[in-house]
């Protein structure tokens, strides 16, 4: 290539080979860069700027090389970003050049804040959006352009604002609508909207432009695609940070769509995390959504998510936070109880006998340490806490709420364990241990007397 730099055919073939060598081969990417390959590629593109094939394969080679973090820096410092954007402008009608150029820009922007700034300052945002509008019906162009926008706005507030102000949200939604049958376009479109929605202005703009309906429609179409569901739930999560959007999402059927995603991808922790967080944001300061989620089986879905991903801190924390926010409504709407305890009917004929039985067992356990822990009747526990009266609640810990119990002038603590932990039999010891720690008062640790295994 260096000896025949003016021969466009040789340059084209050489660039094609470099792109193939660098594809999915990290070692080759390092070797090409170390041998001066980046400079050679950029020189070929500059010398043959009007040759679409040279630009196409040059951008393809840079796209592959830019998967390496060191190469991202080398390409940018060698003027690669300006060269790529020049290729796009000079060959604006060539879909292949636009496709691979945006792929290169996406990889250069991914996880590199300096390149995000460089691309934007060089006019990259406008150039990408222009390519999307010109090649609206080309799925490859839309896919890679949405991917480039997604990575340009990741943790970059200035780029978020610039894309929104340049009409990028409408352009992304047009891409998704025009390629509703293409899952990859939906995935990258969702990703771009998710990152953009962290901006207050963008949240409103997305909703006004019909973005919520577009997102929900795609999620329903690609219900079996975990990646689409993850990014869809993520986009709804950020959109729900706006109070008006909470209402719009719920009225458009967003709650059932999120729950369907969680049900269809119960083994995927990313879908569960984004789903639980989206539900949590939807119920924040919105009691109507709390009722809707409860009535749609949301508590069961969240409990299942926690139970299936006990080792995942994100799912565990967001799931419990969502449950705590929903619980005050659910206890009045007579839906799934978060406790393993089942409250008996006050008129039960054997209720008095069961309370007496519990009182005797309690006395025996207090007097005889070796008999602990004991299993106590549910009727006794309900009676001692006045049916888990909120006025008797002492606080909440990792596994549920703690109440003050009283019987025959004897006071004790009662912990109402969350349903998902209760059904996880291998967690009982952990619950017991945590229960003692949480009920420690000053230098006195409350003894563990008994429990109830009943879901």
pLDDT of residue 334: 35
Domain with CATH 1.25.10.10 in the chain: 212-336
CB 42 within 8 A of CB 83: yes
Superfamily grouping for domain 351-451 = Phosphorylase Kinase; domain 1 (3.30.200.20)
Query: Does 212-336 carry CATH code 1.25.10.10?
Result: yes
pLDDT digits (tens, 9 = 90+) for 426-439: 555 555 555 555 44
Q: Which residues pair with 416 in a beta bridge?
A: 401
Quick count: other Cβ atoms within 10 Å of Cβ 384? 25
Pick from 87, 5, 79: nearest CA to 52: 87
Candidates 114, 109, 99, 107; CA nearest to 52 is 99
| Integer CA distances (angstroms), 131 to 90, 171, 214, 444, in order | 12, 10, 22, 70
Q: Around Cβ 176, how many Cβ atoms within 10 Å? A: 24
| Residue extent(s) of CATH 3.30.200.20 domains in the chain | 351-451
Question: In whole numbers, what is the pLDDT of the chain averaged over residues?
Answer: 86
57-66 residue pLDDT tens:
999 999 999 9
**pLDDT for the residue 432:** 54
Report residue 184's pLDDT band, with 50, 70 and 90 as the boundaries: very high
């Amino acid at each position: 290539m260096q000896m025949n730099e003016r021969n466009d055919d040789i340059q084209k073939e050489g660039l094609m080979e470099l792109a193939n060598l660098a594809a999915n081969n990290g070692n080759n990417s390092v070797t090409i860069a170390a041998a001066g390959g980046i400079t050679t590629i950029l020189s070929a593109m500059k010398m043959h700027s009007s040759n679409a094939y040279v630009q196409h394969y040059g951008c393809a080679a840079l796209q592959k090389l830019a998967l390496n973090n060191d190469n991202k820096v080398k390409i940018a410092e060698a003027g690669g970003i300006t060269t790529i954007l020049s290729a796009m402008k000079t060959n604006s009608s060539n879909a292949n050049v636009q496709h691979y150029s945006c792929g290169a820009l996406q990889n250069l922007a991914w996880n590199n804040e300096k390149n995000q700034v460089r691309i934007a300052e060089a006019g990259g945002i406008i150039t990408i959006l222009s390519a999307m509008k010109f090649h609206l019906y080309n799925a490859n162009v839309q896919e890679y352009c949405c991917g480039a926008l997604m990575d340009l706005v990741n943790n970059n507030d200035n780029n978020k604002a610039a894309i929104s102000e340049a009409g990028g949200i409408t352009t992304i939604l047009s891409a998704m609508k025009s390629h509703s049958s293409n899952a990859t376009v939906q995935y990258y479109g969702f990703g771009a909207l998710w990152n953009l929605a962290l901006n207050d202005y963008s949240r409103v703009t997305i909703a006004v432009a019909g973005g919520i309906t577009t997102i929900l429609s795609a999620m329903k179409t690609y219900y079996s695609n975990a990646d689409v569901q993850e990014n869809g739930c993520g986009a709804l999560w950020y959109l729900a940070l706006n109070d008006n959007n909470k209402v719009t999402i719920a009225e458009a059927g967003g709650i059932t769509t999120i729950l369907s995603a969680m049900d269809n991808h119960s083994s995927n922790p990313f879908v569960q995390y984004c789903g639980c967080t989206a539900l949590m944001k939807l119920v924040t300061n919105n009691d109507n959504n709390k009722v809707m989620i409860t009535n749609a089986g949301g508590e069961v879905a969240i409990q299942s998510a926690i139970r299936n991903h006990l080792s995942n801190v994100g799912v565990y924390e967001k799931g419990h936070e969502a449950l705590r926010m929903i619980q005050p409504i659910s206890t009045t709407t007579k839906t799934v109880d978060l406790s393993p305890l089942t409250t008996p009917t006050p008129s039960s004929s054997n209720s008095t006998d069961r309370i007496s039985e519990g009182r005797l067992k309690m006395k025996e356990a207090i007097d005889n340490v070796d008999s602990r822990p004991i299993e106590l009747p549910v009727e006794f526990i309900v009676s001692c806490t006045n049916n888990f009266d909120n006025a008797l609640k002492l606080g909440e810990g990792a596994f549920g709420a703690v109440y003050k119990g009283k019987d025959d002038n004897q006071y004790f603590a009662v912990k109402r364990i969350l349903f998902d932990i209760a059904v996880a039999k291998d967690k009982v010891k952990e619950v017991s241990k945590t229960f003692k720690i949480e009920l420690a008062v000053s230098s006195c640790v409350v003894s563990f007397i008994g429990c109830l295994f009943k879901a």
